[in-house]
Amino acid sequence: MDHALPSRQSLEQAVSLLAATTRAVTPRRVETSAALHRVAAADIEAPAAMPPLHQALDDGWAIKADDTLGASPYAPGFSSIAPRRVRIGETLPDFADAVLPLPKASEASGAFEICGTVAPGEGMRAAGNDLRRGEVIAAAGARLDERHIALMRAAEIGDALVRIPRVLIVGAGVVGDWLAGLAEQEGADCAMIEASAQGDPSDAEDLILVVDPSEWRDRTRRHERTLFSRIAMRPGEMTGCAVRESPHSSETATIFVGARLESALAAWLLLIRPCLRRLAGATSRDGAASLPSTRKIVSAPGVSELTLLRRLDGEAKTGARWEPLATGDIPYSAIANADAWLLVDAQSEGFAAGEIVTGHFL
């Protein structure tokens, strides 16, 4: 049965529909080498203390710090235990509690002379001081970046439990490729087909994105779906969403996106990315800054409009400010120069010049 709703729905209604449909997907385990950009489904913990034993932080001499007390170039000291030469990252011998830098020692006289002092713990990393056993490297919901992967490899963690949303993008070209790249940065796996492809998506997808959706919108109407044909948002006059209501499978959201870059950007920021983060169980949030606007932001009531902003650092007297580049009708030049965005909701007519607005970094 077709549950078609009136042609223009508010952005809030569309967001509510999608939020009720997109739930965290089932976790799966992947090798650490394949975990980059994926979202952790459980805390990733250090399996053992790091380093397991005291470790040199620089090239030098492993030594007892007490043996260096009072030593100087003019009154060299001598070690009670023969120091051992170590390189950065090397495990220290049991007697050592410091690493003496190479210039602070001399063997010119045939005997090992200490020509400077070190404090206990200097030049070394004590056992367990990098990571304690069980210490969290990445919390559940964190997107794993290069830093996490390096730490996991250093801790010899071979795999991770992650959530990977499966996204089908219908319609290739610049917009489809851009959305695929953005989705993969959020940890999704993407498959792409041409809009002319026959048949309907399988139940394997967690989210379907349709670029330039006229043909697929008609196809959607013929199936059991709740349909928001158009959403009252700018840019994105062609943006819409639908939900399959099959009794034999879980609901799958479809988001329709216009074929221009500004429409894709608005759909990404306001609809697609929030869906992907719910599907992945992501808890990370993007940075934001609240700054005065350099000029008035004007918006038409009844329509949610995207505004792109550029940060102006200014002088000490004025401080940092947001410069509005475009609202609703967004040219490609604004996309190229924007640092952040804000949403002017449908009940607002905008913001006055000098008013504090919150920009979310792109």
pLDDT tens digits, 307-320: 999 999 976 667 89
Cis geometry, peptide bond prior to residue 235 (ω within 30 degrees of 0): yes
Task: To the nearest 10°, report the CA torsion of 82, 88, 94, 95.
Answer: 40
Q: Given this model, what pLDDT does residue 316 score?
A: 63
User: Helix 273-280 vs helix 11-21: angle between axes, to the nearest 10 degrees?
Assistant: 20
Q: Where in the chain is the domain with CATH 2.170.190.11?
A: 55-125
CATH for the 55-125 domain, from 1.20.120.1200, 3.90.25.10, 2.170.190.11, 2.40.110.10: 2.170.190.11
Q: Given this model, what pLDDT does residue 112 score?
A: 85
Q: Where in the chain is the domain with CATH 2.40.340.10?
A: 288-361
| Listed ranges 108-112, 178-182, 212-216; the one with the highest mean pLDDT | 178-182
What class is the 288-361 domain? Answer: mainly beta
Q: Where in the chain is the domain with CATH 3.40.980.10?
A: 3-25+164-280
Distance CA(153)–CA(148), nearest Å, equals: 9
What class is the 3-25+164-280 domain? Answer: alpha beta
Q: Given this model, what pLDDT does residue 317 score?
A: 66
Other Cβ atoms within 10 Å of 37 Cβ, number: 18
pLDDT at 199 over 60: no
pLDDT band at 84 (very low <50, low <70, confident <90, very high): very high
List the alpha helices (DSSP H) in 230-340. 261-267, 273-280, 332-337
The region of weakest confidence among 2-6, 50-54, 131-135, 231-235 is 2-6
Q: Given this model, what pLDDT does residue 319 score?
A: 86
Q: Given this model, what pLDDT does residue 1 score?
A: 38
pLDDT band at 80 (very low <50, low <70, confident <90, very high): confident
Give the global pTM: 0.85
Q: Given this model, what pLDDT does residue 216 score?
A: 59
Q: Given this model, what pLDDT does residue 5 score?
A: 43
